[in-house]
């Protein structure tokens, strides 16, 4: 069983880069990974500029299960602090199982300039455990983000993760970490109905295209639908629930070959 899981992990590394969904970076709560222009949700490692839109301190935890295998699950946590001058966020993610796992930690800073645009930077540290040598290997890489509010209903976001193409070196192999550049838009037909699009490009891979819709059906319930793809078209469905200071997101994706991805996140926003 461990050999099968290990082979699947290797396959995920190859297929993930081609589809722009790297196991290094956890999924975002935005449907179909259209997070780069989603100023209403700050997700770990998605776009640090979104930190600038925090109005109150926020804590969140998320869990993703890939293809119903516990060995391929991701767990992430984040905490953000808001202030008039600058907002600060701390993020952590863990992927894998005892024989092989990855950890990613980040510290980000962002500022919102009068709601006209927001800028953010983040320092990330990625480390991997190799059971063969019983050792960890790690490296740093930066992340920068920008969101511009072109009109009251339309914004555009940009994110660059690992723009200088950092690598992870071991005794046996040099692993190149994905360098992903993302550009996305968000358009509000109304406060209750939002449409987002996103294009991702990893420097040595194909483009990834994504689109998604959020519809606030009731005061506390939101429905999300979308799709993304590069080699395959992957449908996505989700819902959001707001109760008091808690925000809950449940998303799922159906890969035509590998099966079902499930995602759950819970955020708590402190009130002053």
pLDDT in tens, 45-70: 999 999 999 989 999 999 999 888 88
Condensed to tens digits (0 to 9), the pLDDT of residues 128-163 reads 887 766 778 889 999 999 999 999 999 999 999 999
Query: In the prediction, which pLDDT does 81 show?
Result: 94
- Going by their DSSP bridges, the two strands 58-66 and 135-151 should be labelled as unpaired
Query: In the prediction, which pLDDT does 242 show?
Result: 92
- C-alpha radius of gyration, the chain, whole number: 18
Query: Residue 86 above 50 pLDDT?
Result: yes
How many CA atoms within 13 Å lie on the side-chain side of 215? 7
DSSP class of 30: S
Query: In the prediction, which pLDDT does 197 show?
Result: 97
Condensed to tens digits (0 to 9), the pLDDT of residues 188-243 reads 999 999 999 999 999 888 899 999 999 998 889 999 999 999 888 999 999 999 98
Query: In the prediction, which pLDDT does 135 show?
Result: 77
Query: In the prediction, which pLDDT does 7 show?
Result: 44
**Please, which pLDDT band fits residue 174 given cuts at 50, 70 and 90?**
confident
Query: In the prediction, which pLDDT does 229 show?
Result: 92
**% of the chain with per-residue pLDDT over 70:** 89
Q: What is the mean pLDDT of the chain?
A: 87
Condensed to tens digits (0 to 9), the pLDDT of residues 3-38 reads 444 444 444 444 443 333 456 788 889 999 999 999
Alpha-carbon span 46 to 42, nearest angstrom: 8
Q: Which residues contact 47 (CB under 8 A, 6 or more apart)?
A: 35, 36, 37, 38, 120, 145, 147, 157, 158, 159, 182
- Count Cβ neighbours within 10 Å for each residue of 9-31 and write b for 16 or more, e otherwise: beebeebbbebbbbbbbbbbbbb
**Please, which pLDDT band fits residue 272 given cuts at 50, 70 and 90?**
low
């Amino acid at each position: 069983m461990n050999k099968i899981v290990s082979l699947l992990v290797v396959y995920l590394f190859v297929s993930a880069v081609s589809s722009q969904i790297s196991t290094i970076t956890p999924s975002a709560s935005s449907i179909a990974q259209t997070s780069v222009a989603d100023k209403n949700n700050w997700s770990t490692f998605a776009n640090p500029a979104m930190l600038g839109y925090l109005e109150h301190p926020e804590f969140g935890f998320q869990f993703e299960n890939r293809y119903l295998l516990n060995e391929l699950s991701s767990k992430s946590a984040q905490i953000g602090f808001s202030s008039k001058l600058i907002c600060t966020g701390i993020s952590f993610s863990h992927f894998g199982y005892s024989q092989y796992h990855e950890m990613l930690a980040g510290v980000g800073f962002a500022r919102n300039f009068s709601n006209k645009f927001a800028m953010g930077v983040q320092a990330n540290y990625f480390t991997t455990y190799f059971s063969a040598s019983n050792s960890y290997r790690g490296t740093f890489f930066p992340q920068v983000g920008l969101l511009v509010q072109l009109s009251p209903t339309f914004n555009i976001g940009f994110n660059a993760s690992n723009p200088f193409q950092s690598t992870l070196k071991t005794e046996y192999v040099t692993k190149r970490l994905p360098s992903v550049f993302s550009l996305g838009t968000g358009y509000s037909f109304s406060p209750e109905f939002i449409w987002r699009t996103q294009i991702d490009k990893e420097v040595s891979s194909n483009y990834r295209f994504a689109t998604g819709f959020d519809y606030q059906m009731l005061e506390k319930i939101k429905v999300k639908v979308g799709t993304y793809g590069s080699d395959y078209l992957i449908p996505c469905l989700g819902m959001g629930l707001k109760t008091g200071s808690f925000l809950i997101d449940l998303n799922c994706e159906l890969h035509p070959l590998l099966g079902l991805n499930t995602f759950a996140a819970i955020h708590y926003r402190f009130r002053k």
